[in-house]
């Protein structure tokens, strides 16, 4: 299964993606809003868990491929996260620092939100990030997510963390209002 946008392919991870993923998730600048960059072993585990959750739940982290170059540039997907003591279906997006500021995070995340609501029929999605990660917050806001709460995240150096959320009904209403300039066209390809 692949999700196609105008500039990106989002597809389930494979073992072949580990080296490229280490280059992004193991990079100190890219991971500057996380406690630390991930080790190669941790990245291999992220890929393995994502492969398992595709089969069991229909979602996970997707490898994001830039269509023009065919290059792996990051990941975006839905994961089950413990957010302030509650298990939440979270839309996460992490891209190589060299790709920041190009709109890739929004484009990929918008496609994932559509997939979560339209295909998986989930009722609610959220995103969370360090409160000073302004780029990530802008992506969540552009997705139509609303700031739900803030809390001190012990797992992320005690940083003040913002939690954004959106419900299927409001996403459908927002999409109908905004179809046009900001709408992300997607195609879902199944085997």
**Considering Cα of 20, then 21, then 23, then 24, what sign does the dihedral take?**
positive
Contacts with 138 (C-beta within 8 Å, 6 or more apart), sequence order: none
| CATH architecture, range 2-189 | 3-Layer(aba) Sandwich (3.40)
Residue ranges per structural domain of the chain: 2-189
Give the tens place of pLDDT for each residue, 48-67. Answer: 999 999 999 889 999 999 99
Hunting for tokens 């994932």 — which residue is that? Answer: 112
Give the tens place of pLDDT for each residue, 78-93. Answer: 999 999 989 999 999 9
pTM above 0.85? yes
Length of the chain (residues): 191
Residue 156 pLDDT more than 90? no
């Amino acid at each position: 299964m692949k999700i196609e946008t105008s500039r990106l392919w989002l597809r389930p991870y494979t073992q072949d993606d580990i080296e490229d993923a280490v280059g992004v998730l193991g990079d100190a600048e890219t991971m500057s809003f996380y406690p630390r960059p991930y080790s190669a072993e941790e990245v291999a585990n992220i890929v393995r868990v994502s492969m398992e959750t595709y089969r069991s739940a229909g979602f996970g982290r997707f490898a994001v491929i830039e269509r023009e170059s065919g290059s792996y540039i990051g990941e975006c997907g839905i994961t089950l996260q413990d957010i302030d003591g509650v298990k939440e279906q979270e839309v996460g997006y992490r891209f190589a620092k060299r790709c920041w500021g190009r709109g890739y995070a929004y484009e990929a995340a918008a496609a994932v939100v559509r997939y979560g609501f339209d295909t998986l029929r989930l009722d609610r999605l959220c995103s969370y990030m360090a409160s000073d990660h302004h780029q990530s917050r802008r992506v969540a806001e552009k997705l139509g997510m609303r700031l739900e709460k803030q809390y001190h995240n012990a797992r992320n150096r005690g940083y003040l963390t913002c939690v954004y959320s959106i419900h299927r009904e409001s996403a459908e209403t927002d999409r109908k209002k905004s179809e046009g300039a900001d709408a992300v066209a997607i195609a879902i390809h199944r085997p």
